[in-house]
Amino acid sequence: MDRYNGREMGSRLARSVFDIHDPHQPSAGESEQDEELPLFFLPQGQGSVLPNDIIYYHIKTTNPLILKPGEQEVKNRSDLTCDNLDCSTGKGHFIKFTFNSIGLIDSVTYMGDEEIILQSLWSFVGLHENYLNELTERYDNGIISNAVEFLSENWAIALYHEWFGDFCLRMR
């Protein structure tokens, strides 16, 4: 259970219990229900407050990319790490994006003194790096010095909308 999102598991469990005990729904064959295993897709997150009031969040995917069963994924993209956090004072922030071999964001780690909206970090996991407006290339070339500020600009507002992921799926 530690590998999946608790909210998603809870809603799936509640739906299953209601389906079993709903007096208005005709009972289906139990063998169909027993054989079907649920698939979970929401990211899993952890957070805490560290000394010096540093806020820590780590959000990761629950479905890592598996190209062929039994083979390990080859990492062909470097992680994007922006670190201007002064641990002695607790000022600034650290953010790290990890990518899988096809460019999807596998995890986001944030530490800093600035209060952020957790849902905005969740929205990054599973997005392709191209949706970040060439953040990795611009950061590597020194055009962008602060990834957090870059992702706080007006152009990025759409990324944080609750329906942006659905929009991306429909555009495929």
Pairwise CA distance, residues 60 & 44, whole Å: 5
pLDDT at site 31: 44
Instruction: State whether 57 and 127 are in the same domain.
Output: yes
Pairwise CA distance, residues 134 & 79, whole Å: 14
pLDDT at site 53: 87
Expressed as residue numbers, the domain containing 36 is 1-40
pLDDT at site 81: 92
Instruction: State whether 93 and 26 are in the same domain.
Output: no
Instruction: State whether 9 and 88 are in the same domain.
Output: no
The number of folded domains in the chain is 2
Instruction: State whether 15 and 70 are in the same domain.
Output: no
Instruction: State whether 54 and 115 are in the same domain.
Output: yes
pLDDT at site 163: 80
**Phi, psi (5° rounding) for residue 168?**
-60, -40
Instruction: State whether 32 and 61 are in the same domain.
Output: no
pLDDT at site 108: 94
pLDDT at site 76: 81
pLDDT tens, the chain, 172 aa long: 456 666 777 777 777 766 666 666 665 554 455 556 667 677 888 899 988 889 999 999 887 766 667 777 777 888 999 998 887 888 888 999 999 888 889 999 999 988 888 888 888 888 888 888 888 888 889 898 888 888 888 888 888 887 887 787 777 7
Which DSSP symbol is given to 60?
E
Q: How many residues does the chain have?
A: 172
* Neighbouring residues of 30: CB distance < 8 A, sequence distance ≥ 6: none
